[in-house]
Amino acid sequence: MRNFDPVDILIVEDNPNDAELTIRALKKQNLANRFFLVEDGAEALDFIFCRGKFEARKECNSLKVIFLDLKLPKVSGLEVLKEIRENEQTKLLPVVIVTSSKEDPDIKSAYELGANSYVVKPVDFEHFISAVSNTGLYWLLVNETIK
Amino acid sequence: MSFRDISERKEAREQIEQLNRELEERVLERTEQLSLAIKELEAFSYSVSHDLRAPLRAIDGYTRILTEDYREVLDSEGVRLCGVIRDNTRNMGQLIDDLLSFSRLGRVGRGLWCNLLFLFAGCQKA
């Protein structure tokens, strides 16, 4: 069994290209030492709550931030967010919504469900890198979470 | 004679009122259809912006990675070609944004048309 701990950032992204570019951006800021990538909502919930194939995770509370795409297979981003907020252990966990479009009709619902931030993935690579890096730097280094 | 005149006028008025009611109903029905069409267009615009941007972001990103990670392997012509690809992804990104702005502009125009319809329905009531 692979040791998953400790993980700071959980990236929930079904597009493998976007995932690779996000990880590259985080690596440039030396932020990608402790990240984990999952490709659908069901896997994300299993990871967050240390169940299923992630049962062996020991440090279940190590996460500092979740980068959550809204359009996901199996369980949607909004449903993932809802479950996170409904659980006593994770209700305060910072969740950053990452989406392709400013027009996303689910953004209002995401904020209503308690999303902490909302970031649009720019088409231009330099802008993409800076959006991801700034978000990563802020949530991992500037922001303080409740212990 | 005068009795018959009044009953004819009364009948005519009732007919007008009936026509007005029908017209109001039709306006409401059309407005509903229009709102539905606008909603569908909005969903389409969102889908376009989301689905077209994703591959474009990948093309731009991976081309940039080529010029970053393989700088020693690429000659100046190779770097120039990568630049051409990236210029074109930016252009296409702009085109998608413009397309969305255009659809929003259309929405405002249609909103105006709806208001005119409501105004018209209101006049009929008065």
pLDDT, one tens digit per residue, over B79-101 is 999 999 999 999 998 888 888 77
d(CA B117, CA A100): 36
List pLDDT tens digits, range A46-94: 999 988 888 888 777 778 899 999 888 889 999 999 999 999 888 889 9
Mean pLDDT of chain A: 86
pLDDT score, position B74: 92
What residue of A is the nearest CA neighbor of B92?
A123
CB A13 within 8 A of CB B54: no
Task: Tell me the shortest Cα–Cα distance from B55 to chain A, in angstroms.
Answer: 9
Mean pLDDT (chain B, rounded): 82
- Give the least confident one: A116-120, B24-28, B48-52, B68-72: B48-52
H-type helices in A2-147, by residue range? 16-28, 41-48, 77-86, 107-112, 125-137
* Percentage with pLDDT > 70 across chain A: 93
Asked if the C-beta of A103 comes within 8 angstroms of chain B's C-beta atoms, the answer is yes
CB atoms B56 and A126 under 8 Å: no
Measured between beta carbons, the chain B residues lying within 8 angstroms of A122 are: 57
* pLDDT level of residue B110 (50, 70, 90 thresholds): low
| Whole-number Å distance between alpha carbons of A42 and A64 | 20
Which residues are CB-contacts of A45 (< 8 A; sequence separation ≥ 6)? A51, A75, A80, A83
pLDDT tens readout for residues B47-63: 777 788 889 999 999 99
ipTM of the complex: 0.79
pLDDT given for residue B126 in this prediction: 47
Interface of A with B in 23-82 (CB under 8 A): 24, 71
Whole-prediction pTM: 0.74
